[in-house]
Amino acid sequence: MKIRPMTVKELAAEYRVSRATMHRWLKAHAQEIGERHAGMQVYTVGQVEKIYRLLDVPEREMDF
């Protein structure tokens, strides 16, 4: 899986939860993840890697 910068909306879609739930999960781990840079709407690749480690990698649907 290739990791790329992602918004909260994109992360929520990957984990199949609402944006409100994703915000709550991210807030609980804010110290470990770090803040988004001023004016940036996305989490960096490094931050997304941390999110995947903290929340586990989201399951992906299999194409059959």
3, part of any domain: no
Higher pLDDT, 57 or 52: 52
* Encoded tokens for 42: 């996305």
pTM given for the model: 0.84
Nearest to 46 by CA among 16, 54, 38: 54
Mean pLDDT of the region 3-9: 94
The mean pLDDT of the chain is 89
Instruction: Work out how many domains the chain is built from and give that number.
Output: 1
60, part of any domain: no
pLDDT at 20 over 80: yes
Q: Are 7 and 41 in contact (CB under 8 A)?
A: yes
33: containing domain: 8-55
pLDDT given at position 64: 47
* Encoded tokens for 25: 């999960």
Q: Are 3 and 49 in contact (CB under 8 A)?
A: yes
- What is the percent of the chain where pLDDT is above 70? 92
